[in-house]
């Protein structure tokens, strides 16, 4: 079997709020609690397991490859919720969409302060 990422733990201040936020933006389901985790399963079977960590964690970056229709829907959900977006990972280009690699991409914060990204083309 080839090596595959199965799951990763995502630190949160409120695991329920962070999982619900991502699920709402990307039109995913929040799974049933499993021990200290609230899972959100992605389309490729990888699970993001949200876990409360208080305030003692570093912001991480999570990038989600989506098709054009989901990008449009997710971006609109971000705008409808008043979530700030940027075209770049360093947040110097507010309110813009990048066109790297012949696709579109945008960065935005989740409730825990992680730097999330949706993009329609993978880096080449």
CATH number where 98 lies: 3.10.180.10
Give domain status of residue 78, yes or no.
yes
Backbone angles phi, psi at 16, to 5 degrees: -70, -45
d(CA 96, CA 30): 29
Q: Which two tokens stand for residue 36?
A: 């200290």
Instruction: Give the domain extent around 42.
Output: 7-52+62-119
**What's the mean pLDDT in 63-87?**
98
CA-to-CA dists, residue 48 to 44, 64, 65, angstroms: 12, 12, 15
**15-26 helix and 68-80 helix, angle to the nearest 10 degrees:** 130
**pLDDT, tens digit, for every residue of 85-115?**
999 999 999 999 999 999 999 999 999 999 9
**Residue 100 falls inside a structural domain:** yes
Average pLDDT over residues 10-36: 98
pLDDT per position as a tens digit, 35-55: 999 999 999 999 999 999 988
In angstroms, rounded to a whole number, what is the distance separating the alpha carbons of residues 43 and 39? Answer: 13
Contact 76, 85 (CB under 8 A): no
Output the pTM of the full model: 0.96
CB contact set of 17 (below 8 Å; sequence gap of 6+) = 111
Mean per-residue pLDDT of the chain:
97
Give me the number of domains the chain comprises: 1
Q: Are 62 and 50 in contact (CB under 8 A)?
A: no
């Amino acid at each position: 079997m080839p090596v595959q990422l199965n799951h990763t733990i995502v630190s949160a201040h409120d695991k329920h709020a962070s999982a619900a936020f991502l699920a709402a933006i990307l039109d995913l389901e929040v799974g049933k609690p499993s021990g200290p985790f609230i899972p959100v399963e992605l389309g490729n079977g990888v699970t993001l397991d949200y876990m409360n960590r208080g305030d003692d964690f570093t912001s991480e970056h999570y990038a989600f490859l989506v098709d054009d229709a989901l990008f449009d829907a997710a971006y609109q959900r971000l705008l409808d919720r008043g979530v700030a977006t940027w075209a770049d990972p360093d947040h110097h280009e507010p309110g813009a969409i990048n066109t790297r690699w012949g696709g579109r991409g945008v960065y935005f914060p989740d409730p825990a302060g992680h730097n999330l990204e949706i993009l329609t083309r993978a880096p080449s």
